[in-house]
A and B are shown apart, each in its own frame.
Chain A
Amino acid sequence: MPYLLVLPFLLTVLSFSAQAGNIAKDPFNSPMWEYLAEETFGENATVIVDENLKIFAPTNAESNFQVPVSVDASALGKVEEIVLMTDLNPFPIAVRFFPMQAKPYFATRVKLNEGSVIHAIAKTPDGIWHMNGTFVSAQGGGCTTGPQQTAQADWADHLLEAKGRMWQRGDSERIRVSLRHPMDTGLSGDVPVFIIEEINFKDANGLLLSRFELKEPISENPVLTLDFPKGTAPLRISGRDNNANEFDVEVGTR
């Protein structure tokens, strides 16, 4: 009988010692966290849980195809990169954001294959990754499930058409850009992977101000919102998809 009591203790000790580097345990209990963190940041990375990193997503997905997420790492000071991870998706990493001149804040929408923890992990210049997360249930709720969405039939006629705008907001300029693109993951039907891979924000002289690398979980017709310091606009937004289709548009003070 006594050895039965010792067993869980032993297992706990073993799991701690088996844990490589300094990757914090996941307070949100995602079964994929340790594996994904090691894969993504390396087994010697230092990843800490940090509540100063804010992530917001609704507790219920409603439409699994358009789940809004925002990440605000402003309280961490200078941030080099933010990774958004949808743990239980077949391709977990949703986006890598390199803020550079922008505030370490962005909002977008992701697809969820099932209910999952969504993690945001932000890297500060000292090389430490700061992690926070939130759980999104994706079983629908209330009156009915959301409208089913499939890639819009006329996507080819409007590929990479851009919409967007700049807003003056106190000490910052908010930019929103939306692009027509099916963002096919390659996992449904016979449709190969077809996604926008990068979106770059540049000033009038072509100097790179901020950059996003998009991955499969980003929703069809991606929408990105981010904040620059006052006086940044007008700027150019450019990028390409994995089939080398490109776009390059200007957003200014209208």
Chain B
Amino acid sequence: MRWGIWCVVWGVLMSFAHNSMADDLPYDLKAQKVGDGAYVFIGSTDHFNRENGGNIVNTGFLIGETGVVVIDTGPSLKYGNEMRAAIGAITPKPVRHVIITHHHPDHFLGNLAFDDAQIWAMDETIQAINREGEGLLENMYRMVGDWMIDTTLVKPGHSINQSHMDLSGRTIQFMPLQGHTKGDLAVFDQKSGVLFTGDLAFHNRTPTTPHADIAQWMRALEQLEKHSYNVVVPGHGPVERDGRSFKQTLDYLGWLQKRLYKAAENGLEMTEVMRLDIPRRFQSLSVARAEFVRSVAYLWPSVVEETLPRLYD
């Protein structure tokens, strides 16, 4: 008897919980103006979790004469839809073009919200999405849960092969780089001087390295440092105006690279490396220990492979 009542009460409670779930998970995206017709949405600097729904990323948009250009679409359909609504509150012009900086899930899984626009990316990015997209999507469902509802994979249909394009009346410069992944696109808007770096630059947030080539990445950052800009929009962390995100990312990557090779030279094994001290200047970065451990997981096996000498009979 008791059980029966409890089952009914539980059932009713759960149905409330379920019905209100989707509406109770707003990203509350707030557009921040960073230049003439240029806006960004700044995400948290944490890991993916069920509280932030994957909103750990910076995205943006540019208002042209005839339409809107979106740079990265966030981690989910829901994020993309909210982004669209926030853009609509600022301009009635339609979103005509979307540019994807690279193939990591927080940067392109909102594509479905923009599937009536042209979605552009580097060939390397499109290939990586073809290869890993389904797995990345599945993993996002596992990590952030209900926030991902109805999100499906929408691949960029247009490949970027030119250094400049005129999109909706704005001249956009493309810098095809690599290092964070095999295809990292930096996007520069000439009118506003806003430089979207994708995940080549992190700001007050420890860089992530699952597909990284550290040496290439550092060369890419050195190139971006020389570029002109009024505002830098890093992939993660607050916007800045003096290139400090480049310096910070370079400093961390340089240290990481040296530390791993030094550890290999000293004969440390992988779990010892994961427990090494992190210099004070990086401890203030978001998720410093967790990202260092992850970087060791990704980068250490090839450091060992490269540095360990052959043995013979």
Contacts and interface: CB of A to CB of B under 8 A. Distances in A.
Interface of A: 56-58, 60-63, 66, 68-70, 107, 109, 139-148, 161-165, 167, 169, 174, 176-178, 221, 223, 225, 237, 248-251, 254
B297 A63 contact: yes
22 contacts: A56-B274, A62-B210, A68-B297, A70-B270, A140-B142, A141-B47, A141-B48, A142-B47, A142-B294, A143-B208, A144-B132, A144-B210, A145-B132, A145-B139, A145-B210, A163-B310, A167-B267, A174-B267, A176-B267, A178-B304, A225-B269, A250-B312
Interface of A is mostly: strand
A237 B105 contact: no
Contacts of A144: 104-105, 132, 136, 139, 208, 210-211
Interface string B268-289: 0111101100000000000100
Contacts of A223: 301, 304
Given A164-B311, A249-B312, A70 B210 contact: no
B252 interface: no
Contact of B311 (A62, A221, A251): A251
Contacts, number: 124
B163 interface: no
Nearest to A140: B139
B92 interface: no
Contacts of A141: 47-48, 143, 290, 294
Nearest to B312: A249
A176 B106 contact: no
Looking at A60, A143, A249, the one whose CB has the most chain B CB atoms below 10 A away is A143
A19 B270 CA distance: 37
B104 A109 contact: no
A142 B291 contact: yes
Interface in B285-313: 287, 290-291, 293-294, 297-298, 300-301, 304-305, 308-313
B294 A107 contact: no
Looking at A58, A177, A237, A250, the one whose CB has the most chain B CB atoms below 10 A away is A58
Contacts of A221: 305
B308 A62 contact: no
B48 A62 contact: no
Q: Which 6 A-B pairs have the closest CB atoms?
A: A167-B267, A68-B270, A107-B269, A143-B208, A249-B311, A62-B297
